[in-house]
Every structure is written in C-alpha cells, then in structure tokens.
C-alpha cells in the first residue's frame, strides 16, 4: 500500500485512540539525532543510563530520551491534513501495521510517562501517555502556517524535502 497525503476533509473521521501534542519545530533545542523527519521514542523524567538528556522540561523535570527509535515516518501509512475547531491545522497520522504494533507497545510501556517527539532530528515535545495508543495519532501544530504544515505532511509520506 502506498503512502498518501490527503488535503483537509469536511468530515471528522472516527478515531479510537488519539495522541495530541504540540509540534514545536526547531523551538526546543537538544542534540540532533538522526535523519528521520519524525520519530517517537521512550522518555523519562529521571536520568537513565545510556539515554540522552534533552532540553525539554515536563512538570519541572528535564526529559531524558531513549536512543532507540520506536516509530518513524517510514511506518506512516497516510497523513490527512485537517483544521481544528479553533482554526489551527493538524495532521491525522495513520501508521502501517508494523508502526501500529510499535506505537501500541511503546505507549503501554510508557503509561504515565513521556514519549519524546523528535522532528528533523531535534526533540520537540514530550507528551505524557495517558492510555495505550493504536495506529492513529494527531499532530496539532497551531504555530505552523499552511505552507509549513503542507510541507511537513509531504515529507512525512516521503515527498520532496
């Protein structure tokens, strides 16, 4: 199955499990990691031997990031651009079966702990996992304009960089 990017639709698809987070491209420092556009990694609010210290802070605690990538853009099946009720753009990301299995495993292991969102090699946010996730999640990006969100969507499905 080929990856797809869908422009915004007027219908709101039913999403059983959603992870919403603010995507802060280039705003939060931390050392560059890999050449992936998007990565999801385990995180911790306390130091873990062999993990990387990030510049991210959650609840007053510095976030540490697992060097192992759990999910990345090669596991994305489709990306749908939508507009939130507030008028901000968001991307609904659907993972392929391999990505869905990894996201579910990561979210179960990280219950009540952070998942580090890495964009273009930099840790950008670290939402706390409140429930197990399946194959869908949402990137809410209120600070990005139409051009930036469209560019990110294209890059996530393997379009031009």
Q: Give the C-alpha separation, 81 to 38, whole Å.
A: 16
Per-residue pLDDT of the chain (161 residues; tens, 9 = 90+): 556 555 544 433 323 233 333 333 333 344 444 578 999 999 999 999 999 999 999 999 999 999 999 999 999 999 999 988 888 888 999 999 999 999 999 999 999 999 999 988 999 889 999 999 989 888 877 777 788 888 988 998 875 44
- Nearest-Å Rg of the Cα atoms of the chain is 15
Q: Is pTM beyond 0.85 here?
A: no
Distance of CA 78 to the CA centre of its chain: 14
Domains of the chain as residue ranges with CATH: 17-156 (3.30.1360.200)
């Amino acid at each position: 199955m080929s990856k797809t990017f869908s422009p915004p639709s007027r219908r709101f698809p039913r999403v059983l499990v959603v992870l919403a987070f603010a995507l802060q491209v280039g705003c939060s420092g931390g050392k560059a990691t890999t050449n992936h556009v998007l990565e999801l990694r385990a995180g911790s609010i306390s130091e873990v031997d062999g993990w990387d210290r990030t510049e991210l802070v959650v609840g007053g605690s510095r976030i540490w990031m697992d060097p192992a990538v759990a999910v990345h853009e090669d596991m994305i099946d489709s990306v749908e651009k939508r507009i939130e009720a507030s008028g901000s753009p968001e991307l609904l990301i659907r993972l392929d079966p391999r990505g869905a299995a990894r996201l579910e495993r990561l979210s179960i292991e990280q219950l009540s702990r952070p998942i580090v969102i890495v964009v273009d090699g930099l840790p950008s946010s670290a939402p706390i996992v409140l429930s197990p996730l399946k194959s869908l999640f949402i990137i809410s990006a209120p600070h990005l304009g139409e051009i930036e969100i469209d560019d990110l969507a294209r890059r996530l499905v393997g379009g031009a960089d």
